[in-house]
Amino acid sequence: MLQQVISLSPDLKRLWDEGFELEVKHGYLLVHNVPYVTSSKEIKSGTLISTLDLAGEVTKKPETHVIYFIGEYPCQKDGSPILAIKHQNGDQNLGNKIVVNYSFSNKPADGYPTYYEKIKRYFEIISNHAKSLNPDVEVKKYEVHLTEDEESVFNYSDTNSSRAKINALQEKLESQKIVIVGLGGTGSYILDLVAKTPVKEIHLFDGDEFLQHNAFRSPGAPSLEKLRERKKKVDYFAEVYSRMHKRIIPHPEFISNENINQLLDSYFVFLAIDGSQVKKDLIEFCINNKIPFVDVGMGLQLADNELVGIVRVTTGLTSKIDHLEKRISFSDESENAYASNIQIADLNSLNAALAVIKWKKIFSYYQDLGKECNSNYAINTGELFNEDFVV
């Protein structure tokens, strides 16, 4: 990852050629071995950290002039702090074991045009005092650090999380094996959202083909040529989202008693299939094996040439299952699904978003004060009704 970014980005290549010790890690640029003076007039080595703004793994103009620092507060050679760059004190956890101690601010009139100017300027402000105290101090080593991004589940850096400073939150999802059963309208939007998180694996189960009507209630815009391939839904979506997330595993089959044990080590299951005995078996399996899950559903009807209905999200937890039977329908609707099961892309995406938000609440990504296990969005009134709370 680092070698690729350096080779494609002239500003980082210039820093490397001048001997700066660089690392690219989870959307941040780290510059190690930055000499600085402490308040006791010792010379120590710190690390400068900048958010990294990329376009196709190539650097663009830095969005912010602010930079982070790991170490004690840098001082002048007499031990007095360098106040000209003071910005924010106090530790901040940027995630992925990156904990910074300070942030600094030195803003040119038009910002920094490249990362070369940004890093060089802060490096000089901090290290020049160390060099004036000891001219022989070694400031550059021409070293490249191995980066944990090589083990990332993403094919390119998640610079969005680093810019938003939510990498520490993302860590809460990293170890999870996620299963999505059903890649119809709502299930495909669930995949779209989950694929943008650093979960360990995403397993897709669906035996149907991706056909023309699916294109109008799923994310993206497949070409006519792609539709003519008649791929299985899981294979089509795995191909699309594997461009971003490395560990998407398609299972071109329906869940049955023969293969249900593949869900045994799941961390969380999204159920996006019509009511049936299979759904009932899946829910019983999740309950018996203490696997939390979300079941999604929509009920839409055409009335007076307008659509009315409900978008539903029902959660099953080890601590809360007594509501499931009254909230989830298990009637087999497969025979008339295309005749009466109205699906609209915006409602599918809403259903998926509510389900994914609930999943993130369960694992403390979002704060959850209500702890509801059933939510219904009424289309005609615009109200969201929450029920079946964990007490």
Q: Regarding beta strands 372-378 and 67-70, do their DSSP bridges make them parallel or antiparallel, or are they unpaired? A: unpaired
Domain map of the chain by residue range? 2-151, 175-389
Residue range 289-306: average pLDDT?
A: 94
| DSSP letter string, 303-368 | ETTEEEEEEEEEEEBTTB-TTHHHHS-----GGGHHHH----HHHHHHHHHHHHHHHHHHTTSS--
pLDDT in tens, 177-194: 999 999 999 999 999 999
Judged against a pLDDT cut of 50, whether residue 337 lies above it is answered with no
- Tally Cβ neighbours within 10 Å of residue 327: 18
Judged against a pLDDT cut of 60, whether residue 149 lies above it is answered with no
3-state secondary structure at position 152: coil
- What's residue 44's pLDDT? 95
Q: Answer yes or no: are the C-beta atoms of 95 and 26 closer than 8 Å.
A: yes
pLDDT in tens, 220-230: 999 999 999 99
Amino acid at 59: T
Distance CA 355, CA 375 (A): 9
Distance CA 232, CA 272 (A): 16
Q: In angstroms, what CA-CA distances link 87 with 53, 67, 73, 162?
A: 21, 9, 11, 19
Buried/exposed 98-114: b ≥16 CB within 10 Å, e otherwise: bebbbbbebeeeeebeb
* Angle, CA 159 vertex, CA 155 and CA 165 arms, to 5°: 135
What's the CATH superfamily of 175-389?
NAD(P)-binding Rossmann-like Domain (3.40.50.720)
The residue ranking higher by pLDDT, 387 or 25, is: 387
Q: In angstroms, what CA-CA distances link 259 with 188, 201, 251?
A: 21, 18, 10
Buried/exposed 300-320: b ≥16 CB within 10 Å, e otherwise: beeeeeeeebbbbbbbbbeeb
Amino acid at 252: P
- What's residue 340's pLDDT? 56
| DSSP letter string, 49-95 | EEE--BSSSSB---S---EEEESSPPB-TTS-B-GGGEEEEEEEEEE
DSSP annotation of 114: S
pLDDT in tens, 88-109: 999 999 987 899 999 999 999 9
Distance CA 99, CA 378 (A): 44
Q: Which residues pair with 269 in a beta bridge?
A: 179, 293
Computed over every residue of the chain, the mean pLDDT equals 91
pLDDT in tens, 50-82: 999 988 889 999 999 999 999 999 999 999 999
Half-sphere exposure of 265 (CA within 13 A, CB side): 7
Amino acid at 265: D
Q: Answer yes or no: are the C-beta atoms of 307 and 301 closer than 8 Å.
A: yes
Q: In angstroms, what CA-CA distances link 244 with 21, 153, 183, 247, 352?
A: 28, 8, 18, 9, 19
Q: Regarding beta strands 372-378 and 306-316, do their DSSP bridges make them parallel or antiparallel, or are they unpaired? A: antiparallel
- What's residue 145's pLDDT? 58
Q: Answer yes or no: are the C-beta atoms of 191 and 167 closer than 8 Å.
A: no
Distance CA 379, CA 152 (A): 40
Distance CA 342, CA 354 (A): 19
Angle of the 345-362 helix axis to the 185-194 helix axis, nearest 10: 50
pLDDT tier at 148, thresholds 50, 70, 90: very low
- What's residue 260's pLDDT? 96
